[in-house]
Amino acid sequence: MTSHYISWWNLENLFDVKDAPTTRRPDDLARKIKADLKNWTMDVLSKKIEKLAWVISQMNASTGPDIMGVCEVENTHVLQLLLDALDTSRNYGLIHHDMGDKRGIDVAFIYDKDKFDFNTDEFFHHTVVKRYPTREIVQATVVNKSSGNEIILIGNHWPSRSAGQYESEPYRIITGETLSYFIERIQEIKGDDAAIVVMGDFNDDPYNRSLTDYALSVMDRDKVVYGRNPYLYNMMWPLLGQRKASYVYGGVPMMIDQFMVSKGIAKKSGKFSLDEKKVKLEIFDGMVSGRYDTPVRFGQEKPDFDGFSDHLPISFVLDEK
């Protein structure tokens, strides 16, 4: 049996510096993030990279994840800086698309190139549009070099609640409906046994309508396996039952960072297996404080060099039979 350690982390505004040679920000984006970049220098970026890399390097018994999804990254340059800072022996590759988000925060994947091939012919992305592009769904296929089995990754960063939970909910509902279409399309092309791992910052909890009614995310594994609709098995419910949270806002704990899997993984007779009870929050020294293990932010306008991100990473192990 081969195990794949899969992680997700919202890195919290991993911006490039203003005058980096790789940065070509549109004027509207430059205006939008100007305040966030007020004290953002190369020294600050390097410290942020150092803190993130320290955490990622400790995952999976200090060997690093096999696959990791991230969001809130501005460009490939800062992602490469992060990979270069990792203290592992991994040969990581990047999967990234520069999207049109108003704040320049993208979704991306890193993967172990010694373990997986990236199928460049199967890379898709969809931007959710309000009056301007905002957030994104990104789909990528990686292939296990040893077995030839595919794992289809879908990374998500859903529209935020900044305008209010219910005022902004329609945009997350649209995104949930789009995600469900992605799943249906994949299963029509590749069959019901397609191994799909959905991960992301959904800005809603597993019980919110955008996930349950529109993304068809459920807590009943049998419903995913035997149901007619393209249901997704949400693996975060055990952590919810323990009152765990990946994000805390205004003193309210939320499990908005989530893993979901398709029928091809949820069923116990397929090529893959998993134990949802082993899904975990990645917490190392100094990452949380106070009630509900609130993540210690690195921040932006006033960076806190003791912080990391306003989200905690999550991980699980996908076993391949």
In order along its 321 residues, the chain shows pLDDT tens digits of 899 999 999 999 998 886 555 554 445 445 555 555 667 889 999 999 999 999 999 999 999 999 999 999 988 999 999 999 999 999 999 999 776 555 557 999 999 999 999 999 999 988 776 654 457 899 999 999 999 999 999 999 999 898 889 888 999 999 999 999 999 999 999 999 999 999 999 999 999 999 999 999 999 999 999 999 999 999 999 999 999 999 999 889 999 999 999 999 999 888 999 988 889 999 999 999 988 899 999 987 788 999 999 999 999 999 998
**Verdict on whether the full-model pTM lies above 0.85:** yes
Residues 6+ apart with CB under 8 A from 258: 198, 199, 200, 202, 206, 211, 217, 234, 235, 236, 314
**What is the Cα–Cα distance from 15 to 213, expressed in whole angstroms?**
34
Domains of the chain: 2-320 (3.60.10.10)
What are the φ/ψ torsions at residue 181 (nearest 5 degrees)? -65, -40
CA 261 to chain centre: 14
